[in-house]
Chains A and B, each alone.
Chain A
């Protein structure tokens, strides 16, 4: 994937670029809003990673201008401002996701990949497929290898999110935000327990486990 990092803290930007390159992505860097705007207009990127507070043109203004030109590239905002209204302001300006500093690099990578994937699967799907796992969103049925799996409503939502991001790492915070709609850091292993229940339902009795734990990051559904 081609990514553009717009961040005035050069050291942080370079560390991010190294970690994303390690994960197999190609990164370009810009160090203020104007450079970022120029770079975003010049090249084609899959995801823009934009710091909210920057000199010259700040992140929100930059993304607003970008959106005004009709550029729909997904944007992940980075910010030291974690209040809900800051988050809302960022998303209203045209951001697609919001990550509060300080963050774990694994979280950043997982969210960037999720954003890029969201763009690819823009068409409305009624059936999701990952390997031999099949989810019918209309009938609300899940089958693995033709065998029906009975899921609670929340387990269904959890699996849907994992299937939409199959092959990518998703973090516990992402799950709490996307599946439960709460924006706080779970202190204990609440999410882990839900995952392990889901795992016992979809993997039990099959010789290959699909739902895997990614150390230091979260979980990944493998086809």
Chain B
């Protein structure tokens, strides 16, 4: 037979174990107290009996048998703790409060005996008390028995012990109840966590453990579990999204490529077209596909990783001046003014390749969309907050305010940019790079409308300060 679940929990088992230990220790303690106290009581009784006996021996030597007899009669009538029996040398009773000596076979020596005194109880019934007694011979050959009622002291000890036993039993009961209560609470806390883990194991990553707000270790555990699930859910969603995005973006150009090849084959077979033209076109399509594929893969990997791989510490101005040097000729060829304002001596901790790629993407966009006669400015500076900003400002047509949040989404290409090359992944990669470096991407209006140019666009990649 299995115990109910509540009784099988670890806290309950621990409670039972501790209670058992407690009970054993308490029993040993009580037993020791009992033995020690009872021993002491009987030792004290014996001592008082001896003292009483000695006083009669002294009285006898001073006043003879009659004074002893008188004293016995007096003391028996006076009540007190002692009982007496004065006997002649043959053992026949002379005086005292007992009818017969509890010592059955007196052998002329001091004889100790433990016996019972029957007494009138408080409610009229007969009560038997345990008692100690001693019979001895007086100097004249007469015999004297002196006894003392130890029942009162002993029963006091016994009643205290009984109370202690009762308290012990109460502790055990309360302990068990407490154990059950603790065990139920723990079971509930753990049960919540187990339910969440079970849900996650069967594929439901939405489940979260409830937080009690108590700040105890169960809540800490629950919070840790929730954070872990959060992260897991994000990466899984990221991967799924990356998969969807790849499928989405590669399907249409692949379809186009296939259609073009098919048409070219038909036309070439009919002798109406030069296969070289179709092949060249197909090659260009394939190159575009590879570029898209690489960009989607980079974004997907970044997002799935959640953080930028292989970060190094470097001077952002050095990287930006490399990029400036790379893009300046392109700008000049297109009739654009190019300027770089780079604050020296800053440091960032980031993945150099991804930052370079992100800057190249932003510069690509700026060069692509800014008409001849415009300007492109690359700037690196430290903000008051300590964050490092890479900003590219152009004097192109800009992006309407309502679309600014959207342009960094994957594959979003605004209407007026459809005739430009590109897959619409440039800023999504920049956004992914910003996110995985714990930074952010800002898209604002540029310098405004001047001489038929503008309003322009300012795209800033902001990275948190190093360290």
What residues of chain A have their CB less than 8 Å away from a CB belonging to chain B?
Answer: 82-85, 100, 102, 104, 154, 180, 182-190, 193-194, 196-197, 216
* Chain B residues in 8 Å Cβ range of A84: 309-310, 351, 353
Q: Once bound together, how far apart are the Cα atoms of A189 and B326, in whole Å?
A: 10
A194 in contact with B329 (CB, 8 Å): yes
When the two chains form the complex, which single residue of A154, A186, A188, A189 contacts B325, counting CB atoms closer than 8 Å?
A154
* Chain B residues in 8 Å Cβ range of A185: 291, 294
When the two chains form the complex, which single residue of A83, A186, A197 contacts B360, counting CB atoms closer than 8 Å?
A186
When the two chains form the complex, which single residue of A82, A187, A197 contacts B361, counting CB atoms closer than 8 Å?
A187
* Chain B 397-438: CB-based contact to A (< 8 A → 1; otherwise 0): 000000000000000000000000010001000000000000
By secondary structure, the A interface counts as loop
* Chain B 272-285: CB-based contact to A (< 8 A → 1; otherwise 0): 00000000100100
* Chain B 37-75: CB-based contact to A (< 8 A → 1; otherwise 0): 000000000000000000000000000000000000000
* Chain A residues in 8 Å Cβ range of B173: none
Q: Once bound together, how far apart are the Cα atoms of A197 and B293, in whole Å?
A: 31
* Chain B 338-381: CB-based contact to A (< 8 A → 1; otherwise 0): 00000000000001010011001100100110000000000000
What are the 9 closest A-B residue pairs judged by CB atoms, nearest first?
A: A193-B329, A184-B357, A193-B330, A187-B364, A188-B364, A182-B356, A190-B330, A193-B333, A190-B326
A184 in contact with B356 (CB, 8 Å): yes
* Chain A residues in 8 Å Cβ range of B290: 102, 104
When the two chains form the complex, which single residue of B322, B351, B357 contacts A180, counting CB atoms closer than 8 Å?
B322
Q: Once bound together, how far apart are the Cα atoms of A83 and B368, in whole Å?
A: 28
Nearest residue (CB) in B for A102 is: B290
Nearest residue (CB) in B for A155 is: B329
Q: Which of A85, A154, A190, A216 has the most CB of B within 10 A?
A: A190
Please judge, given known A-B contacts A83-B301, A84-B353, A216-B283, whether A180 and B309 are in contact too, CB under 8 Å: no
| Band of interface residues on B | 20 to 34
Nearest residue (CB) in B for A104 is: B287
Q: Once bound together, how far apart are the Cα atoms of A102 and B290, in whole Å?
A: 7
Q: Once bound together, how far apart are the Cα atoms of A165 and B295, in whole Å?
A: 29
Q: Indicate if B165 sits at the interface (CB-CB under 8 A).
A: no
* Chain A residues in 8 Å Cβ range of B422: 187
A-B contact pairs, 9 of them (CB 8 A): A82-B294, A84-B310, A104-B290, A180-B326, A185-B291, A187-B364, A188-B330, A190-B360, A194-B329
Q: Indicate if B314 sits at the interface (CB-CB under 8 A).
A: no
A188 in contact with B368 (CB, 8 Å): yes
B426 in contact with A187 (CB, 8 Å): yes
* Chain A residues in 8 Å Cβ range of B115: none
Q: What's the least CB distance linking A34 to chain B, in Å?
A: 31
Q: What's the least CB distance linking B413 to chain A, in Å?
A: 14
Q: Indicate if B297 sits at the interface (CB-CB under 8 A).
A: yes
Nearest residue (CB) in B for A191 is: B326
B356 in contact with A190 (CB, 8 Å): no
